[in-house]
Amino acid sequence: MVLTEMKQGEEGLVYKLAGGREMTRRLEALGLRTGKKVKKVSSLFERGPVVLELNGRLIAIGHGQARRIYVKMEAEADENIIDG
């Protein structure tokens, strides 16, 4: 699941940053890396920026970039364990 598909208030673990090098670098500089827990605070309209909470800070990410950030929801992770 990607960030834009998450619902408001849901939490998940980042497992892949699929953007270009520049985007990845800027995200990592803000502390958004694989393995980090994020909470979706809101998304501004259908194709507007997504706001995340990360380590108690708010980060806004453009729609085009948020689409390329993959997260694993907590529930999803549990299911995988059961399946495995």
Cβ closer to other proteins: 64 or 80? 64
Instruction: Reduce the secondary structure of 4-72 to three states and give it as a string.
Output: HHCCCCCEEEEEEECCCHHHHHHHHHCCCCCCCEEEEEEECCCCCCEEEEECCEEEEECHHHHCCEEEE
Q: Supply the minimum distance, in Å, between the C-beta of residue 79 and other proteins.
A: 27
Q: Supply the minimum distance, in Å, between the C-beta of residue 75 and other proteins.
A: 23
Chain residues that interact with other proteins, rule: CB under 8 A = 19, 22-23, 25-31, 33, 41-45, 47-49, 51, 55-62, 64-65
